[in-house]
């Protein structure tokens, strides 16, 4: 994997290289075939100006490259959220909170990254502006050996490819059902979804006001800690405890069903490595996970809350939406107020049961997604491929969406060996257990990097 942000910052602080040189390197990658369709708008000149400014001592990002998902307001620019529907919307008057915090930390904004239209899919396909091909950050090559492009995962597709390819050190994105962790897993990088309430969503186009989380993709776990501290304006409490002090749960219900061979092999090998290093690993049933399907049968929070936001736009511009996105948003039209209130009640009770089952554990361990990246042409736009698209979308979201419904936190870290398909290990827990998840992920990533 390419050098991470912290190592690069330390090198610059020691007088080895400059932020302007780093930006030019990142721009060269962003203009290369590796990043085709990864950006909807580049900001190279602005990034150069920021990198050339004298950086105050100790500034966290030191003029280094950051990409911004096209979901977030940048002052003076139109936020299209991956759609042509908002192409003529007025420019934003202010930066979103997340962008403002990254700027204040010294970020050079390289560009607005590609995304699924209105963030409503875990696959990564965008029929309006093109879809970037997955790039394996661990192996530093395009995913797949058959010469075909493979799906990057969504909805933060461009953010993931920008980080995995080396164009950006941080990819600002969002996670409503897995949109940070899915592309992290499929691109062999790190994606951390914090507890949603820790980072303001102000200045971001909403998908679900209940589930939306502002977070980031990075090249390492320690970079993920840094990015979270910037976005959440808080310090992560570090633990000196060794891996042998950690107790992990491995849920058996549904999260291990139907794994691809490459995913099952990587996950089993990872559990063995952690156990050999002294980690205490126990299987748990988590029977409550079986209730998720019923709760989400009518589309869940994303459908009803997105429909409320899009209703008037759909009346005027329905034909301009990606049909797959339009159909998912449309599911919310049939949900009654009493259905919505019952969903809130059922979720609260469900969260309590899952959190009780996870008491005493530092984190749960699961494959981030049950499959490896499929070929892009298998889910390309077209009604003849809709059934396969929705099948793949359901598989990609299956494990990650558990954490969003739990109001929890989770991180995906690469657990595949060099030369193998990208596979993500997901470490997760309930709300406000972010520091425990991050500390355990730091140790797990350090162990796995020794392979």
Domain that holds residue 440: 243-289+343-448
Q: Provide the 10 A C-beta neighbour count for residue 245.
A: 15
pLDDT of the residue at 298: 75
Determine the Cα–Cα distance for residues 72 and 104; give it in Å rounded to an integer.
Answer: 16
Judge whether 302 and 208 are in contact, CB under 8 Å.
yes
Asked, for residue 338, whether it belongs to a domain, the answer is: no
- Active-site position among 2, 65, 67, 69: 69
Same domain, 33 and 110: yes
Identify the CATH number of the domain in which residue 376 sits: 3.90.1300.10
227 phi and psi, to 5 degrees?
-60, -40
Q: What percent of the chain has pLDDT over 70?
A: 100
Same domain, 270 and 161: no
Determine the Cα–Cα distance for residues 262 and 332; give it in Å rounded to an integer.
Answer: 36
Q: Among 292-296, 337-341, 426-430, whose mean pLDDT is lowest?
A: 292-296
Asked, for residue 304, whether it belongs to a domain, the answer is: no
pLDDT of the residue at 304: 95
Same domain, 222 and 271: no
Q: By C-alpha distance, which of 319, 300, 272, 295 is closest to 425?
A: 272
Mean pLDDT over 436-447 rounds to 98
pLDDT of the residue at 381: 95
Q: Is it the case that residue 145 has pLDDT exceeding 70?
A: no
**DSSP secondary-structure letter at 375?**
B
The band of 162, judged by pLDDT with boundaries at 50, 70 and 90, is very high
Q: Among 49-58, 125-134, 421-430, whose mean pLDDT is lowest?
A: 49-58
Q: Is it the case that residue 451 has pLDDT exceeding 80?
A: no
Judge whether 83 and 321 are in contact, CB under 8 Å.
yes
pLDDT of the residue at 144: 85
Please say which residue of 212, 232, 252 terminates a domain.
Answer: 232
Same domain, 79 and 218: yes
Tell me the pLDDT tens digit for each residue of 191-220: 999 999 999 999 999 999 999 999 999 999
pTM, to two decimals: 0.98
Same domain, 172 and 274: no
What's the number of domains the chain is made of? 2
Q: Has 67 been annotated as catalytic?
A: no
Judge whether 321 and 314 are in contact, CB under 8 Å.
yes
Mean pLDDT over 237-260 rounds to 96
Mean pLDDT over 302-311 rounds to 96
- Active-site position among 113, 179, 436, 440: 179
Asked, for residue 56, whether it belongs to a domain, the answer is: yes
Q: By C-alpha distance, which of 440, 435, 405, 404 is closest to 425?
A: 440
Q: Is it the case that residue 353 has pLDDT exceeding 90?
A: yes
Q: Has 401 been annotated as catalytic?
A: no
Q: Is it the case that residue 256 has pLDDT exceeding 90?
A: yes
Judge whether 153 and 395 are in contact, CB under 8 Å.
no
Mean pLDDT over 235-259 rounds to 96
Same domain, 109 and 155: yes
Average pLDDT, the chain: 96
Same domain, 266 and 404: yes
- Active-site position among 155, 162, 302, 436: 155
Q: By C-alpha distance, which of 179, 102, 165, 113 is closest to 134?
A: 165
Asked, for residue 209, whether it belongs to a domain, the answer is: yes
Judge whether 189 and 163 are in contact, CB under 8 Å.
yes
Asked, for residue 319, whether it belongs to a domain, the answer is: no
pLDDT of the residue at 57: 82
Q: Has 53 been annotated as catalytic?
A: no
Asked, for residue 324, whether it belongs to a domain, the answer is: no
pLDDT of the residue at 276: 98
Asked, for residue 371, whether it belongs to a domain, the answer is: yes
pLDDT of the residue at 295: 85
Same domain, 351 and 214: no
Q: Is it the case that residue 337 has pLDDT exceeding 80?
A: yes
Same domain, 164 and 260: no
The band of 253, judged by pLDDT with boundaries at 50, 70 and 90, is confident
Q: For the chain, how far is it from start to end, CA to CA, in angstroms?
A: 13
pLDDT of the residue at 450: 85
Same domain, 18 and 167: yes
Please say which residue of 232, 260, 277 terminates a domain.
Answer: 232
Same domain, 159 and 134: yes
Same domain, 28 and 132: yes
Distance of CA 376 to the CA centre of its chain: 19
Q: Is it the case that residue 100 has pLDDT exceeding 90?
A: yes
Mean pLDDT over 150-169 rounds to 98
Distances, alpha carbon 411 to alpha carbons 128, 197, 237, in Å: 30, 16, 16
Beta-bridge partner residues of 411: 192, 427
The band of 187, judged by pLDDT with boundaries at 50, 70 and 90, is very high
Q: Is it the case that residue 299 has pLDDT exceeding 90?
A: no
Instruction: Please tell me which residue, 26 or 419, carries the higher pLDDT value.
Output: 26
Q: Which residues, including other chains, have CB under 8 Å from residue 413's CB and lie 6 or more apart?
A: 190, 221, 424, 425, 427, 441, 444, 445, 448
Asked, for residue 201, whether it belongs to a domain, the answer is: yes
């Amino acid at each position: 994997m390419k050098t991470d942000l912290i190592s690069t910052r330390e090198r610059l602080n020691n007088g080895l290289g400059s932020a302007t040189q780093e930006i030019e390197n990142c721009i060269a990658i962003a203009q290369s075939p590796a990043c085709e369709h990864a950006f909807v708008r580049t900001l190279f000149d602005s990034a150069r100006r920021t990198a050339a400014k004298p950086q105050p001592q100790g500034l966290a990002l030191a003029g280094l490259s950051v990409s911004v998902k096209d979901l977030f307001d940048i002052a003076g620019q139109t936020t299209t959220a991956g759609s042509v529907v908002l192409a003529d919307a007025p420019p934003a008057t202010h930066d979103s909170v997340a962008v403002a915090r990254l700027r204040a930390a010294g970020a050079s904004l390289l560009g607005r990254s590609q995304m699924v239209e209105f963030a409503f899919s875990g696959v990564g396909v965008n029929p309006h502006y093109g879809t970037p091909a997955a790039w394996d950050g661990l192996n530093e090559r395009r995913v797949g050996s058959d010469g075909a492009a493979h799906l990057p995962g969504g909805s933060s597709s461009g953010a993931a490819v920008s980080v995995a390819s080396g164009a950006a050190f941080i990819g600002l994105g969002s996670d409503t059902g897995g949109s940070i962790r899915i592309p992290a897993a499929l691109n062999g990088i790190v994606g951390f979804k914090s507890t949603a309430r820790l980072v303001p969503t102000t200045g971001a186009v909403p998908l679900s006001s209940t589930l939306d989380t502002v977070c980031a993709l990075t090249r390492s776990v320690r970079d993920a800690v840094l990015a979270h501290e910037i976005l959440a304006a808080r310090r992560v409490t570090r633990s000196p405890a060794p891996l042998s002090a950690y107790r992990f749960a491995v849920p058996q219900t549904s999260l291990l069903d139907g794994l691809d061979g490459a995913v099952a092999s990587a996950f089993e090998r990872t559990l063995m490595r952690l156990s050999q290093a002294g980690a205490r690993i126990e299987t748990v049933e988590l029977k409550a996970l079986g209730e998720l399907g019923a709760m989400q049968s009518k589309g869940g929070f994303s459908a009803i809350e997105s429909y409320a936001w899009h209703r008037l736009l759909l009346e005027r511009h329905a034909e301009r939406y990606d049909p797959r996105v339009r159909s998912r948003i449309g599911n919310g039209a049939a949900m009654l107020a009493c259905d919505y209130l019952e969903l809130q009640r059922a979720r609260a009770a469900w969260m309590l049961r899952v959190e009780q089952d996870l008491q005493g554990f530092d984190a749960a361990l699961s494959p981030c997604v049950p499959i490896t990246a499929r070929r892009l042409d298998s889910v390309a736009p077209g009604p003849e491929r809709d059934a396969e698209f929705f099948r793949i979308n359901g598989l990609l979201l299956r494990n990650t969406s558990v954490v969003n419904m739990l109001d929890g936190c989770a991180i995906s870290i690469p657990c595949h060996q060099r030369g193998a398909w990208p596979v993500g290990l997901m470490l997760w827990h309930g709300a406000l257990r972010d520091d425990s998840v991050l500390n355990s992920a730091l140790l797990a990533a350090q162990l796995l990097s020794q392979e």
